Chains A and B, each alone.
Chain A
Amino acid sequence: MKIVLKAALATGLLASPATAAELTVLTAGDQNMVDYVNEYLAPLFEEQNPGNTVRVVGTGPGDAGSQKIVERSEAQGKANAETWDYDVAVVHEKFVGPLVKAGYLEQYRDRISTGKLVTRANADMALGTDVKGYVMPMFNSQTALAYNPALVSNPPKSYEELVNWAKENPGKFGYNGIKGGASGVSFVMGWIYAFGEGDANKLMNGPFEEAETKKWDGALASLKDFTTNAQLTPGNAGTLDMLSRGEIAIGPVWVDMFYSWQANGQLPPEFKLVLPEPGMPGQPMHYVIPSKATDVKLAEKFVELATSPKVQAEGIVERFSWYPGIDAQHVQAELEPASWNKLFTDVTPEDLAKNGKPFPIAPYNSAILEAYERSVSN
């Protein structure tokens, strides 16, 4: 009996192919990020690389999810672990800088064939840190104001107009503050760009100067005043929820979430988006590979697949209505004009070029959030 067992065990061990590996992908963000890998990317990768499997772990929505990935990396880095427990991670822009600075990441972009399809500036600089070569953008996202045309016939085209509109329609504007997801954070950053006394370009490009942080008092005071006429929603999804129930008429949302909710029937098809002047921020999510990944080569293959024009077209644009991570012209060629144009129904490429802004560089970013907590929410 023992021999039979041993034999069975031995054949079992031998039967598995020598190259079989399990690729662990950590992803920050809402459940849709996990679904994207599970339902679309992983099966595709497993089909092209037989014997290998992909395991995806969601670390939670918003900055908190990326923060967990950073902490996990720090823990393993400090423990001098030989191989880390993940091979690929998807993180928010703000957290790439610290990972690169700590020396945890592999500079892999030039080694993969899709590396040269990315030329956008935000793939080289992440909120003030040079990350060239360490990241491949999974997608770009943008925030904008979503509104219910039945309640807002003439949507505000700028922050100024929004302020006046909210005064005339108290309680009809809603946003999720800064604790419930990045669409509210983005609205606050846009507010500082619009009404801060400093130079918005300096906030976006650096360098960081302490003096600059003193120039927001007026803007924050007016934001506090504005917030008394606004409703605070429980999160990114909460804003969309309240819009769909008619409890608010307008509010900042992520463009991709807006489109996918509309596609699922969770939002009425007549709802629209507007990107107000002088602009609201958007951000990419980046693929990164730790230097201590179990199998760096396989991880590179995974990212290469994920950033190939075909996958970017089918997965990123068609399925999830995200703006592509690699340069648009490579992706556009893979798609029917109709699917491509759907991305730009309300927010045109011209609007995006003019009013799609990056977030402020990391130190300003944190300083604005803290100033908000001190003067608006306390």
Chain B
Amino acid sequence: MTTRLTGLLLVLPALAMVLLFFILPLSASVIGAFEVETGFGLANFVKAFDFYSQDMLFTLVIVCLSTVLIGLLAIAIGGYLTLGENPRAVAILRNLYRWPMFIPFIVVGQVMRTFLAKNGLMNSTLAASGLIDPAQAVSLLDWRGIVIAFVWKQTPFVALLVAGSMASLDRGTIEAARNLGASRLRILVEIVVPQVARTIMVGLILSFVTMMSVLSVPLMINAQSPTMLTADIAFRINAYGDYGTANALGTISLVMSAAAALIYLRMTLRERS
């Protein structure tokens, strides 16, 4: 009995922290989404869909597209680190790919804003090297800019997880396939990726949720319409002090993130059963 009590006491501070700083604000925000002047209702959600339905779709498409690209690039990087045959190229890649991970989102936004602008660094370089005509330069500071920033920033994180997991694979399977004459691409797709699929999913779902919550990148690259829900939430609060609609938008993005988590949970459950 006493040991059970001590156990409870020991877990209490952590539990209190979770309750006080996570569950409480979260439920306040979700409840706030349903609060209207006359009590409870769906008015905030009606307004949110009325104003921002396009932005909801936009957010979902951007984040899904980024997640897919991140997955492909992370597998490519991890695959080369595991199967690459040129030791120098592997060493260079290993040392370089992690850098973006240590750069905050707001700095990524700032860097991309000057890099991708119509007359920004990228187009100026291309124009100077004669690859494009300055007149046809286009600005990438729209949805493409956001996708580029997200992929650039999140790929190293997923690649780090994936590469670690690939490195710990039993090399016997890879070598057996190679002995039988399989190409490296085929080994990657048929032998390596299936074995690390769960790690890839974990990395991608964490990235998905992170990207759902980023405000700085859409704000700096494309705060106009259509934009991501985070920018709309900030705008509702900053310009109108309208916490109701902001909470409704927050709840909607929570549902999107929860859907991703649910897919993941069902997948792992199926694997275990």
What residues make up the interface of A, taking CB atoms closer than 8 Å to B?
62-64, 67, 70-71, 176-177, 179-180, 231-235, 242, 245-247, 366, 369-370, 373-374, 376-378
Contacts and interface: CB of A to CB of B under 8 A. Distances in A.
Contact of A374 (B51, B220, B223, B224): B51
A378 B224 contact: no
B53 interface: yes
A67 B236 CA distance: 11
B111 to A, nearest CB: 14
Contact of B113 (A176, A179, A234, A373): A234
Contacts of B222: 232, 234
A179 B50 contact: no
A245 B239 contact: no
Interface string B232-246: 000101111100000
A342 B81 CA distance: 63
A160 B241 CA distance: 35
B195 interface: no
B118 to A, nearest CB: 4
Contact of A377 (B118, B226, B239): B226
A247 B118 contact: yes
A62 B238 contact: yes
Q: Taking each of A369, A373, A376, which has the highest tally of chain B beta carbons within 10 Å of its own beta carbon? A: A373
B119 A378 contact: no
A234 B220 contact: yes
B51 A179 contact: no
Interface string B115-130: 0011100000000000
Nearest to B219: A234
Contacts of B221: 234
B70 interface: no
Contact of B240 (A62, A366, A374): A366
Given A247-B139, A366-B240, A179 B118 contact: no
Nearest to B50: A374
Nearest to B118: A247
Contacts of B52: 373, 378
Contact of A378 (B55, B118, B231): B55
Nearest to A180: B223
A14 to B, nearest CB: 44
Contact of B239 (A63, A71, A232, A235): A63
Contacts of B113: 234
B268 interface: no
Band of interface residues on B: 20 to 34
A115 B224 CA distance: 41
A309 B223 CA distance: 40
Nearest to A176: B224
Interface of B: 50-55, 113, 117-119, 139, 141, 220-227, 231, 235, 237-241
Given A67-B241, A374-B51, A179 B223 contact: yes
B238 A64 contact: yes
Given A179-B231, A247-B117, A378 B223 contact: no
A247 B222 CA distance: 16
Given A64-B239, A70-B241, A374-B50, A234 B223 contact: yes
A179 B220 CA distance: 12
27 contacts: A62-B238, A62-B239, A64-B239, A67-B238, A67-B241, A176-B224, A177-B224, A179-B223, A179-B224, A179-B227, A232-B222, A233-B224, A234-B220, A234-B224, A245-B117, A247-B117, A366-B240, A370-B51, A373-B52, A374-B50, A376-B225, A377-B54, A377-B225, A378-B50, A378-B51, A378-B54, A378-B55
Contact of A245 (B51, B118, B224, B231): B118
Shortest Cβ-Cβ A-B pairs, 10 listed: A64-B238, A377-B225, A232-B224, A247-B118, A177-B224, A245-B119, A373-B51, A179-B235, A378-B54, A63-B239
Contacts of A71: 241
A38 to B, nearest CB: 24
Contact of A369 (B220, B238, B239): B239
B86 to A, nearest CB: 41
A245 B124 CA distance: 11
A377 B240 CA distance: 17
B110 to A, nearest CB: 11
A139 B221 CA distance: 31
Contacts of A62: 238-239
Q: Taking each of A246, A247, A376, which has the highest tally of chain B beta carbons within 10 Å of its own beta carbon? A: A247
Given A234-B113, A374-B50, 12 more contacts: A62-B238, A63-B239, A67-B237, A179-B224, A232-B222, A234-B141, A242-B117, A242-B118, A247-B119, A369-B239, A373-B51, A374-B51
A241 to B, nearest CB: 8
Nearest to A376: B225
A292 to B, nearest CB: 21
Contacts of A67: 237-239, 241
A171 to B, nearest CB: 9
Given A179-B231, A374-B51, A378-B51, A235 B238 contact: no
